[in-house]
Structure formats: C-alpha cells, structure tokens
Chains A and B, each alone.
Chain A
Amino acid sequence: MRTAKEIINEFKAIADNPRKAMDDYKKETGKGAVGIMPVYCPEEIVHASGYLPIGMWGAQKKQISKARTYLPPFACSIMQSVMELQLEGVYDDLEAVIFSVPCDTLKCMSQKWHRPVPSIVFTHPQNRKIAKDAANVFAREEFNIVKEKLEDILGVHISNKAIKNSIAVYNENRAACREFSDVAAEYAAVVTPSDRHAVIKARWFMEKSRHTALVKELIAALKAEPAPEFKGKKIIVTGIQVEPYDVLDIFQENGFAIVADDLAQETRNFRQDVPDDDDALMALARAWNEFDGCSLATDANKPKGQMIIDAVKKYGADAVVVCMMKFCDPEEFDYPILLQEFEAAGVKNLYIEIDQESTAFEQVKTRIQTFAEIL
C-alpha cells in the first residue's frame, strides 16, 4: 500500500501539469479534451462523450502582456491569465471550449475567444428560486444546445443514458471529495493546505472516476494511522480560488489548517449532488437551480454567509479568511454582507487578495502573520 505522501505527490504532479494529463488521456483513449471555463459548466455532458473535460483556471504567477491588447488591467485576474495563455497557443489543441456567462466579464470573454478552437457558449438562468420551474426548463434547453453543439464538433452521439451514467460518476466523485475534505480536516497535522489543494485541483484534469479512485486510496492511506493532534488554528476559506501554492504555504507557516472551503474552484463544485431524474439534462438543470452559496448564483436571500457560519460551527474553525479574487465584482458585492454577518455571529475574519499575476507575497504574508498573532 502506498503512503499518503506518495499519493499526494501523484495528485500534485497532475495538478501541476494539465497539458500532460490531456496528452496522456489522448494516448490512452484516442480522444482529446474539451476545455471547461469557470464556472459551473455541465461537465457531465462532456464526460458522457468520452472526451476529457479539462478545467481552465488560468495559471500561477503569470505575467500578463499580450492579453493587454484585449483586456484592460481591471478585468478579473483569472481571465487575464486565460487570455494570455490563449494568445500563447496553450489551448490550441483542445477540441472545443465551453463558456458559461454568469458575470459581465465572462460574457465579454466568451465573445473574445479567438480561433482556432471552437467555443460553445451557454447561459445559466438566474431567476432560480421564485421562477424555479421556468428556470429548469430554460436551463435544460441550454444544456441540450451544448450537447448538440458538442455532438457536432466531436462527431459523436451523446445519449441520455450516457449522461445519466456520467452524473452517477460525478456524484460519486463529489461524495469522495466531500469525504476527503473532512478527512483532511481531521488529519490537519498531516495534510498541508497545499496538499489539500492539489488533491482537489487535480479533479479538474482527471477523468472523474480515476480521481475518485485515487482520492479513496488517499483516504485509506491516511486512515491507516491515527490522526496526530493538530495544535494550530483552523480556518475556512471563501472565494473563487486560493492560489498559488505560495499563499497556501504562508497559511501553513503561520500554523493555519484549512478545515473546509467555500471556493468556486473547490467545494462549491461538490457540496451538492445532481438530483435523480430520468431526463439527465433536466437533472443537470435542477442541480443548477438548487445550488446555493456562490456569488455567481443569484439568490436574494444570500445564504452564503450563514452557510459559512454553520461550517465554522461544524468544523470548530477559529476564523474565516475571505480570499478575494482580484477584480471579481460578484464576490466583491457579497463581502460587505459577509462582514456584517460575521460580526453579528462573532466570527473572526481576515481579508486577503488573490491575484494570479502576483509574484511577491510580502503583503499577504504580513496580513496572515498578523492575523495569526491576533487569534
């Protein structure tokens, strides 16, 4: 049996090299990859085609220069990196790219996609609660269009049965990831923030059943030994993503362990399963409208704050760290409400900025260290 460390290193290698993941998949199956732009694209449809859904989350410490032709400096940090990579030709070997447009910047990005790779754009409904039935019907039709366009581009047929199968595979992966997140919290003294991130990030580049198997192997390896006592402080992070590894390492250096996350790149994707429905596309539609707690999913009740506070209680967290993606309007809007809710509930919190272009982390270090000194 492999050690937890060995398995984590395998996750890290995959998370650090999406290109290799894509090439390996093609060698093995003869099928390429379909790019999945952030956020909440119906990956299961791609999975059902036999092609590899591969996440496009930009890069770490990426210098932006060519992208400036197409984006002003105040466009969202992830999109800057994605555009830069696209102009460098990094995405040219994808079969297609799928865009969702839940924010204004993504709407624009979806129209800025340069050839050669064909793009498929779909829109999520945002009147998800009061007009739920109508929203389900609309989303189902949008997903159907995605399916048809994919079939066209890939030259395959994607059946309802295949999508249902993929949904089952994804739900199993979601459950495994939820379990991993909890086990990682329990084994905080063993699983560092960077380790935790690599395990979860790797799911964006792996065929999901493979990822599930590896996660289960890791959980077994961890549980083989009793959990050593974790003497540091427990935090919950919220935002779009927490990268690069430098930031995660700063958390670790200051004695912090991430016991749960509310990140668009991580738990927000596996917090809720896709419900059961004979009509697979309708199941995916319902999943979107039932989804709670992301700044990109409109809900006038704004449940995210309470969800985080509940998680703080559940995991015995000492504090919440708001990891604000630079220039992300939807997350920025949620912040003042979160502040009020945290204050009312007595939840200590810190605010740091995530910028994919950053190469120096002194400011983040100062804030996190001070926070550790306060707690």
Chain B
Amino acid sequence: MEFNAMEASAKECLAYYQAKLDEEAWEAKKNGKLVCWSASVAPPEFCVAMDIAMVYPETHAAGAGARKASMDLLEVADEKGYNIDICSYARTNLGYMELLKQEAMTGQKPEKLANSKAAYVPLPDLVITCNNICNTLLKWYENLAKELNIPCIIIDVPFNHTMPVSRHNKEYIADQYRAAIKQLEEITGRAFDYDKFFAVQEQVQRSVFWWNKVATYAQRKPSPLNGFDLFNYMALIVCARARDYAEITFHKFADELEAKDAAGQYAFGAAENEKHRVTWEGIAVWTYLGATFKGLKNQGAVMTGSAYPGLWSLVYTPGDLESMAEAYTNVYINTCGPNRYEEFYKVVKNSKSDGIVLHLNRSCKLMGLLNNEGAEYVNAKLGVPYVSFDGDQTDPRVFTPAQYETRVQALTEMMDENQ
C-alpha cells in the first residue's frame, strides 16, 4: 500500500511515520547498521549524522501504556528486582529489554513478548542519554548499557541552579559534544560526517519550528487544538526531529488547525462548547488517556496549556556547538525554581487557562515535587485555581477514575465561581 504524504492527513502521517521508524530500525539491524536507544530530549544530531537508526524507549513505553500493554512489561521488571518506586517508563522499558534479551539468547520469543501489543523494536548497539529532563535517565541508561554490554554516550547537562545558563555550563556541554563525536568515531570506525551533521541540525530547526507553530494554536480562544492531541503528536518530535517526518506532519497539522479555526471548528466542535480552558502540568496518564480526556471534556474544559511541548523547543544556531548546548540544557525543569515557575506561569498565561490540573505523577519526582510551588506562584499572579490528582504515566495501578473525576469537578466549580 503506497503512502502518499501529500494527500494524507496529519493523523495518518503520524501513524505511518511512527511505524516506519520502527521498520527502519529493523532494516538497519538486518543490514548490519547500528541501532541506538535514546532519551527523548537527548541530541539525536550526532547519531543521525552517522546514519544510526534511533529508537526511543520513552515513546515506546508511552505507546505500550496507551495500548494497555505495560503491565506485562512492568511485571518483568518487578521480577528482576526493580522497585515500584522507580519511574514506570524505565521499568516498562527495562522489562521489555529483558524480554528482547531472552529472545536474543534463546532464539525464542518469551510468551510475554509474543503476546505484547507494544511495538516490536530491535535491541540497541549503543545508547545515548541526556539528563535535561531528569537524572533518572542517567541511571536507566547505565543499566541498559551494563545489561547489554554496549557503549553509553552521556550528554550531561548540569542542573542550572542559576539562570541564565552559565558560560562554564555551556562549555562543558559543548566539550561533551566533541567527546561524543570521538566516541561515535570509535564505535563506527568511521570519521564523523560534519556535513551531514550540519544538515541534520538544520532539519532539527525546521522540525522545532513547525512543532512550536502547532503548539501556538492552543493559545487561540476558542482553541481549534485539543491539548491531548499534542501528547500524541509528541511522538514525532521525540523520534523524528532529525528527519523530515516530523516537519512534514507538523506542517500539515498546522495547516489543518488553521483551516479549522477559519471554519469556526474548535476542539469540542462549536465555540460555545469550550466552557473552560485548563493547563495540564505533567505528562499524560497514558494508560487512561480516554478517562482523563473525557473527565475534562464532560466539564466542558479544553486542555490548552502544557509545558511539555516546550521541552522540544530546541532552538539553536546550526554550526554553533555552544548555542546547541544552551538549547539542550535550557529546559524549564532543569532550571532553578524562580525560572521554572516563571516558565510555567507563561504557559498558563499564554494558553489563557482558567484552571490548572496538576498530575502528581508517581513516576516523576522531578516534575511532581515542585508542582505545588509552581501552581502557587501562578495562582498568586493570575488568581487561577488548581487541583492535584494521583496518577502515573505507564503504571495502571496508580490511578483511579473516581478520584480524578472528583478533583476535576472541584476545579470546575472553582473556575465557575471565578467567572
């Protein structure tokens, strides 16, 4: 079946390209090329410049969660001794890796792997990690490298306890870029392709431009864009920003949203269906996407604000390693409180939100532990009410619809009072 990118919808592109990326990873494996597992906001530019196929465990885990396939994988991790306190993306992925490892060692697919609805991806030949979104990614990838006995490229972006990003911080990161290049030359046995690298950097800038453009549609009032959709499209900015797949899809999506807006079609259909606008702090509850979306929709609340899209607003000057360094370290959760809360405030303000839903994600301490401080900062400035609910990104045992619905209803009542 031929895929026609020109005629396909953004949604079709999203599905098509996600599957294609996994196929390409398998092709690479078959043809003796390298496969790399990467953290979601780690720089892909170096690996893609060396023609390495990229696979993204976080997106893989999110997909498994959304397809209700994460429990099996979490159980595998549990059997290995991984504490349920640990991030469920890591546990899901380490469980999946264990199954792939067993398959590789025995030549047979373990039952849980054969029955899994999670995407089938090949084991990596190397991994690359970056701690701009958390230090958990350092430990997770340490374990992947150790279990599989493969090289680990670390891009350490130290926590910015002072803003703006300091000079010695940028220099350290740029030096690590140079070290990563050397590492890749050793691993591949080839010289680094600086020309391709530059081209990939330019591609990343184009992808980021269109991703940012798409995100701005949620700032329009009423909003043609339902924020939950961004969670889904996020997969391509994660997995394909170094390719044109992301750019093509987001460009389309932006055009579609523009057209919707012009035609008076909004996230919930007619304009008057948008009764409230909320900011959602945290990642999605992948195992309960439907329930969480509907819980808000039933109250007429559109999710228009999220700090997540901004994590991939990796704007830098191609050819300038220090500029690239700054882009990858200046992620709001990698900065001191005052900067972090201010960035969160901008999200709430720009999205014209009347309320905030804080996902206290059991898996994510870096996000969760400062939820309240952020919300209070915004509340002091804008008077916007907020509620918190307990959930998890991929562990289905940590969320209960009853609690969520109660809290969302309480928020709606507070927002109604404010109107």
Contact = CB atoms under 8 A, between A and B. Distances in A.
Contacts of A299: 142
B30 interface: no
Nearest to A339: B81
Contact of B154 (A124, A130, A332): A130
Contacts of A103: 135
B81 A107 contact: no
B83 A335 contact: yes
Interface string A323-341: 0100101101111110100
B82 A332 contact: yes
A71 B139 CA distance: 23
Contact of B366 (A72, A107, A330, A333): A107
A329 B158 contact: no
Contacts of B85: 74, 327, 329, 332
Interface in B139-197: 139-143, 145-147, 151-152, 154-156, 158-159, 161-162, 168-169, 171-172, 175-176, 179, 183
B87 interface: yes
Interface in B41-97: 80-83, 85-87, 90
Interface in B118-149: 131, 134-136, 138-143, 145-147
B337 interface: yes
A104 interface: yes
Contact of A72 (B131, B337, B369): B369
Contacts of A157: none
B87 A329 contact: yes
A111 interface: yes
A104 B176 contact: no
Interface in A96-126: 101-105, 107-112, 121-126
Given A111-B337, A122-B161, A134 B179 contact: yes
Interface stretch (A135-143, A172-180, A252-260, A354-362): A135-143
B368 interface: yes
Nearest to B90: A333
Interface centre among A75, A102, A108, A334 (most CB of B within 10 A): A108
A127 B139 contact: no
Contact of B155 (A122, A127, A330): A127
Contacts of A107: 135, 159, 366
A108 B374 CA distance: 12
B365 interface: yes
B373 interface: yes
B306 to A, nearest CB: 20
A102 B172 CA distance: 17
Given A131-B175, A330-B139, A333-B143, A137 B370 contact: no
Interface string A276-315: 0000000000000000000100111110000000000000
Contacts of A135: 156, 172
Most buried by A among B81, B169, B360: B81
A138 B146 contact: no
B328 to A, nearest CB: 13
Given A298-B142, A300-B145, A101 B161 contact: yes
Interface string A44-84: 00000000000000000000000000111011000000000
B271 interface: no
B362 interface: yes
A335 B146 CA distance: 13
Given A103-B135, A111-B370, A126-B154, A72 B360 contact: yes
Nearest to A123: B158
A129 to B, nearest CB: 9
Contact of A108 (B131, B179, B360, B370): B370
Contact of B142 (A112, A130, A302, A327): A302
Interface string B342-386: 000000000000000000101001101110110000000000000
B259 interface: no
Contacts of A112: 337, 369-370, 373
Given A122-B161, A138-B168, A300 B135 contact: no
B366 A138 contact: no
Contacts of B141: 300
Contact of A137 (B152, B156, B172, B362): B172
Nearest to A138: B172
Contacts of B83: 324, 332, 335
A297 B133 CA distance: 18
B15 interface: no
B98 to A, nearest CB: 10
Nearest to B144: A300
B365 A75 contact: yes
Interface in A337-373: 337, 339
A302 B146 contact: yes
Contacts of A137: 168, 171-172, 175
B126 to A, nearest CB: 11
B176 A300 contact: no
A333 B140 contact: yes
Nearest to A298: B138
B138 A126 contact: yes
B19 interface: no
A131 B176 contact: yes
B336 interface: yes
Contact of A130 (B80, B158, B183): B183
Contacts of A329: 85-87, 136, 139, 365
Contacts of B175: 131, 133-134, 137
A243 B176 CA distance: 39
A121 B162 CA distance: 9
Nearest to A69: B372
B135 A102 contact: yes
B283 to A, nearest CB: 14
A107 B188 CA distance: 36
A337 B143 contact: yes
Contact of A74 (B80, B362, B370): B362
Given A112-B373, A127-B176, 11 more contacts: A71-B369, A104-B136, A108-B369, A112-B337, A135-B172, A298-B138, A299-B142, A302-B146, A332-B86, A333-B90, A333-B142
6 contacts: A104-B134, A107-B135, A121-B336, A137-B168, A138-B172, A335-B82
The 9 closest A-B pairs by CB, nearest first: A134-B175, A111-B337, A108-B369, A300-B152, A123-B158, A333-B139, A138-B172, A121-B161, A127-B156
